[in-house]
Chain A
Amino acid sequence: MIRLQQLLIGYRQRGHKRKVLSTALNFSASSGEMVAVIGPNGAGKSTLLRTIVRQHEPLEGNIDILGTSWHRYSSRDFARICSFVPTGQPPVSQLSVFEVTAMARYPYTGWGGRLKKDDKQAVAKALARVHLESMRDRLLGELSDGERQRALIARALAQDTPLILLDEPTAFLDIPNRYEVLQMMRRISQEQNKLFIFSSHDLGFILETADKIWLLYPGQAIEGAPEELLRDHALDTLFRNTDIHYDLHKGLHIPLQQRYHTTIRLTGDEDEIPWVEKALLRAGYPVSHSRTDNGEIHIEARKKNYRIWIKNQPEENFLSINSLILYLKNIQTGKA
């Protein structure tokens, strides 16, 4: 459906200087796919999206959409095959959800912009898709960030295009809303066979929801299923200079640094032990589960009751993990 051909993105600067953001890109994608564009800040994710939707000129190369070079479409025809949700919120607040969504019918209506029956149907359908039917008369300024993002996605849907691009659709959203927006896009792409191309930094979610990743990295451009990229350690470049890595079972993983040598012996309820262990590891302690007491520190974890024995210290009892960790820290710094 879309094929980038030797596409070089970047900026023309004064004179003949060019700031090239990528190597020649030869990505492609088909209908019904969720394609995530990822890469570090400044790698050209937004520029790539804006180049595809013709809001930015490429330095070289071509984009083929539905068998035709993308710059050969008229403005109106292009708006009928490709819609775009830019990042950030629109500068208007006093328009209703319905009015904003109905703007998508611009390429279909006459000069007066009067909505015909099928225009209204397309708008209603789009609002239903994002579960905003009941909010159609609410003003944009009255919506929460999540609702506003859904309204803007509805606008793109109402434009009735096989291809939808979104620049950071999950930025500014809390975790449940991020998840919901991505799930919604995924559902729509499958049910309506639409191609979604979106940029994002939410690697955790992308690895679970995207069908394909376009990875942009200075001097490097890789495409493939998330699993292929993970298997081939292609994403390691993203974490260069950090100790984050991806674990097939644990997902994105940030290794913790051990700060103390005293091993803590942890016993108690099965339900409690993993949580206390996690907290202790983050605080920098090695943890053992041995039955025999030979360490200096022993913690017994029961439900909301944590006992701790430290050599040369009286036995203490805490009601929360947080206060337990705080006590340990104070012991280490000699404040207790």
Chain B
Amino acid sequence: MDREKENKTFLLFLLVTGILFLILILLDIYTGSTRISFREVTQALFHPEAGNSQYATILYRFRLPRTFTAILAGIALSVSGLLMQTTFRNPLAGPFVLGISAGASLGVAILVLGFSSLFVFGAGTLLASSSIALAAILGAVGVLLLIMAVSLRVRDIMTILILGIMFGSAVTAVVAILQYFSTETMLKVFIVWTMGSLANVTGIQIRLLIALVAAGLLLTTFLAKDLNLLLLGEEYAQSAGMRIRHTRLLIFLTTGILAGSVTAFCGPIGFVGIVVPHIVRVTLQTSNIRKVFPATILAGASLLLLSDILSHLPGRQGVLPINSVTAILGIPVIIWMILQRRKLSSLM
């Protein structure tokens, strides 16, 4: 494929995904468990005082924050998936596979289940959301640092991946013990958290999430040059003058902020992080981070918006756990990619 055509593909992808993104935003706002007509939503959106105040409340207290959260979480998870796949040069790597989410859930489990007697959780108080977020980030970064410590000693990338999965399983075992000894109420709080939800992030929490995701994206932008070089492998990267440990540390920190913060506020949402970078790479036929990164942002936000719309079974009561929807959407894509390509290495 010549470069002009490649650039055209890239711009076309941005355009199509951009339009899709806008349509999905509107769909996400205009549909939901409560049936509200198109006109009433529009009115509530632009003249909240004029129309049905209940609709305005639904819109401003529930739908808009949820849409915002879906966009932020989609971006953060996809980008951290891209970071991990690039760093570990493994097409099946992602925050979930490497145990970052397991680490985050351990952090939350220790907080919710372990120290539940020390803290009081009111829904939506700053203390609760910030401490859950902090606990999740600490847990996520803890697992990442562990993997990083191992990766400095072990050269073989498969070994690190297997160790990551082992850490994840060990952490899950500890979480199970905490669950066993916790009270029923706190257990339910935790279980609901693990199912994932985009609905519980409101007000100041969203601002916090925006700040963290923005910080993560900014760091990724600064890392783009290094990430590109890392695609060739660490030996090449080092010979071109990269300070590997330094770069790895920054990448792990960025992943911890992005995946950890989303996991903290929304629970462990799987598969988005693995699937989106692949969809982008396969469509654009390039691994160049300068193209894959912006495209991943748009595609990631769109995919999670779509999952959110589907999870609300438009027009019906009841909401599916977001985690199940992303899995049901994501797993067929992964299977399809594996069967299509046969050689996994050709995915990078």
Contact = CB atoms under 8 A, between A and B. Distances in A.
Interface of A: 53-55, 75-76, 78-80, 82-84, 86, 90-96, 98-100, 103-104, 106-107, 109, 111-113, 137, 139, 141, 155, 159
Contacts of B243: 75
Contacts of A111: 222, 225
18 contacts: A55-B238, A75-B243, A90-B236, A91-B89, A91-B345, A92-B89, A93-B287, A93-B345, A93-B348, A95-B231, A95-B286, A103-B229, A103-B232, A106-B225, A106-B229, A106-B240, A109-B225, A137-B1
A203 B2 CA distance: 40
Contacts of A141: 346
Contact of A113 (B225, B233, B345, B348): B225
Interface string B225-255: 1001101110110111111000000000000
B184 interface: no
B66 interface: no
A79 B286 CA distance: 26
B235 A84 contact: yes
Contacts of A84: 235-236, 239
Contacts of A95: 231-232, 286-288
Interface string B65-84: 00000000000000000000
Contact of B281 (A94, A155, A159): A94
A113 B241 contact: no
Contacts of A113: 224-225, 228
Given A86-B236, A100-B232, A111-B222, A137 B241 contact: no
Contact of A92 (B3, B224, B241, B287): B287
B86 to A, nearest CB: 9
Contacts of A104: 240
A103 B240 contact: yes
B246 to A, nearest CB: 9
Interface in B276-290: 281, 285-288
Interface residues of B, number: 29
Nearest to A108: B241
Given A92-B348, A137-B2, A107 B225 contact: no
A13 to B, nearest CB: 13
A112 B223 CA distance: 9
Contacts of A91: 89, 231-233, 345, 348
A172 to B, nearest CB: 15
Nearest to B239: A84
A106 B223 CA distance: 12
Contacts of A106: 225, 229, 240-242
Given A90-B236, A98-B3, A137-B1, 11 more contacts: A75-B243, A86-B235, A90-B232, A91-B89, A91-B232, A93-B287, A96-B3, A103-B228, A107-B240, A111-B225, A155-B236
Nearest to A164: B239
Interface string B265-295: 0000000000000000100011110000000
B346 A93 contact: yes
Contact of B241 (A55, A79, A94, A98): A79
Contact of A86 (B228, B233, B345): B233
Contacts of B2: 137
Nearest to A99: B288
B90 to A, nearest CB: 9
A139 B46 CA distance: 50
A75 B245 CA distance: 12
In this complex, which of B232, B235, B288 has the most chain A Cβ atoms within 10 angstroms of its Cβ? B232
A332 B339 CA distance: 53
A53 B239 contact: yes
A111 B222 CA distance: 7
Closest 10 CB pairs of A and B: A79-B241, A113-B225, A84-B239, A107-B241, A86-B235, A106-B240, A94-B287, A92-B231, A91-B89, A90-B232
A96 B89 CA distance: 17
A91 B3 CA distance: 22
Nearest to A161: B239
B348 A75 contact: no
A94 B286 contact: yes
B285 A94 contact: yes
A189 B1 CA distance: 33
A113 B239 CA distance: 16
Contacts of A155: 236
Contacts of B281: 94
B240 to A, nearest CB: 4
Contacts of B345: 91, 93
A103 to B, nearest CB: 5
A139 B239 contact: no
Interface in B151-186: none
A112 B289 CA distance: 12
